[in-house]
Structure 1
Amino acid sequence: MSSMTALFLEDAYLSTAEAHVTGVREDGGILLDQTCFYATSGGQPGDTGFLERENGDRIQIAGTVTGETKAEIILVPAPGQAVPAVGEKLVQHIDWDRRYRLMRMHTACHLLSVVCPYPITGAAVSETDSRIDFDMTDTIDKAEITAKLMELVNANHPVHRKWISEEDLNANPELVKSKNVRPPRGQGQIRLVCIGEDSSVDSQPCGGTHVGETAEVGEIHIGKIEKKGKENRRFRIRFGPLPA
């Protein structure tokens, strides 16, 4: 398999990028030498958008997924699209408005894990209504949680990335907040997403895309807190102010 560079790991704001086709799978999936398209992983949906050919034609991309490993990123064309040739040069264009909403939401999920420091049992990021499930029994007021979230948003903490070795992660197991899922290993390094100067607010393994400052998240609120079992609470994050 040809090596592929995941450009979004270093620059989440890269919405276009040139690439060469390295392969086309039997199912139509397109492989590139480098990509700014994020693949579905860690609760965050994969990017959509299009590939622009040298003659101006477009190949619409309906989704992006991983292959046998997280390092293999597959762009999934919409039905009826033309098939590019191996070696062909293309320009990638992600649906930036959708991606940016997902970046804001994913960052908001990290902030919620700071406000609610409980083991995470599940999560899903979407454009309008994201959720995190916590292993907890406490009763918490959604207005109180919303206020604490907005304090972190309005403080405009920097959001940045940092790479550590797998040995460093082994020595600091508290960095992993998920109760059931562990960061993928075998690459030698683990990517941390950090919030605050010197990671003062938060630091946890994550391969997703995030905004550069917490103020970019914008106004958010906890729309609902649901009881999902004896020791599980589901928090739903939504954009906009808390309804009266």
Structure 2
Amino acid sequence: MPTELLYRDDAYRTEATATVLAAGPEGVMLDRSPFYAQAGGQPGDAGWLRWEGGEMAVTKAVKGPEDSVLHLPAEGAALPPVGATVTAVLDWAPRHRHMRMHTALHLLCSLIPGAGVTGGQIGADRSRLDFDLAAPPTRESLTEALNALIEADHPVGERWISEAELDANPSLVRTLSVQPPRGAGRIRLVRIGPEEAPVDLQPCGGTHVRRTGEIGRVEVTKLENKGKQNRRVYLVLQGE
């Protein structure tokens, strides 16, 4: 049974009541959850499940069978009873940093047009993207351009298109290593900037901030050659 993904409608929702569908050492499955399950380079959320008379620390949320989310218990943690009503609570600070980082990586993509993304990883402290590129811009120029886009405080939104629409516009997909999930008949597009002239527009299932100004200042700290046509760009958030 699929889990209702509450972050799809509100990435800022920090808790929700839910019913336990299954519970075991492999994880706890809920009918609905605000937790993001690890995917696409974004880490799974941590937090807590709380119910009358008990609490379970969640170390990470991962994808389970049939589009469900598994909430992995901390070692030795008590499990909630099947059928119980629980309150699922996010560890918000790292999730919010992941949202800021993820949005910043979309902006980084916009600054290197035409280059496919061959890999990436989002972290609370440092993130990276790998580009199919002979020579990237300089670290200093990327940092300056990124902060200009952030300070412009562009809105971040989303819309859904059909799989047929995506097939008709293959250039929307920047990631070469991870393709948008198919089978549901529709694809979620994340847009930065106005609809008529977006700064960035590409399929993505992750969580993002509402406006780029919320990211705060960033710095491109390192550029690495990871092969003949593979250039790795590291990014950090400055301040809290």
* TM-score bin, normalised by smaller chain: over 0.9
Q: Do the aligned residues in 2 keep the contact of 1:17 with 1:92 (CA within 8 Å)? A: yes
1:129-148 superposed matches below 5 A: 129-148=126-145
Unaligned runs of 5+ in 2: none
Aligned partner of 2:57 in structure 1 is 60
Query: In the alignment, does 2:27 pair up with 1:29?
Result: yes
What is the aligned counterpart of 1:153 among 129, 150, 154?
150
**CA distance 1:139–1:22, change in 2 (3 Å):** closer
1:123-145 deviations in Å (ceiling 9; x for gaps):
00000110000000124210101
Structure 1 residue ranges, 4+ long, deviating more than 4 angstroms after superposition: none
Aligned partner of 1:126 in structure 2 is 123
Letter paired with 2:179: R
- Using the aligned pairs only, state the percent identity: 43
2: distance between equivalents of 1:148 and 1:51?
Answer: 41
Letter paired with 1:4: T
2: distance between equivalents of 1:77 and 1:204?
Answer: 34
SS of alignment partner, residue 153 of structure 2: coil
1:92-126 deviations in Å (ceiling 9; x for gaps):
11000110000000001100000112110000000
Query: In the alignment, does 2:97 pair up with 1:101?
Result: yes
1:68-217 superposed matches below 5 A: 68-69=65-66, 71-117=67-113, 118-198=115-195, 200-217=198-215
Aligned partner of 1:12 in structure 2 is 11
SS of alignment partner, residue 150 of structure 2: helix
Unaligned runs of 5+ in 1: none
Query: In the alignment, does 2:231 pair up with 1:233?
Result: yes
Q: Do the aligned residues in 1 keep the contact of 2:40 with 2:178 (CA within 8 Å)? A: no
Q: Do the aligned residues in 2 keep the contact of 1:20 with 1:88 (CA within 8 Å)? A: yes
1:72-96 deviations in Å (ceiling 9; x for gaps):
2110010111121111000011000
Q: Do the aligned residues in 2 keep the contact of 1:175 with 1:204 (CA within 8 Å)? A: yes
1:172-219 deviations in Å (ceiling 9; x for gaps):
111100123211100111111111111611111111000000000100
Range 41-50 or range 137-146, more displaced? 137-146
Q: Do the aligned residues in 1 keep the contact of 2:62 with 2:72 (CA within 8 Å)? A: yes
2: distance between equivalents of 1:68 and 1:84?
Answer: 19
Give RMSD over aligned pairs.
1.2
2: distance between equivalents of 1:170 and 1:72?
Answer: 27
Q: Do the aligned residues in 2 keep the contact of 1:22 with 1:31 (CA within 8 Å)? A: yes
Scaled by the length of structure 1, what TM-score is found?
A: 0.94
The Cα shift of 1:28 comes to: 3.6
Scaled by the length of structure 2, what TM-score is found?
A: 0.95
1: distance between equivalents of 2:127 and 2:38?
Answer: 15
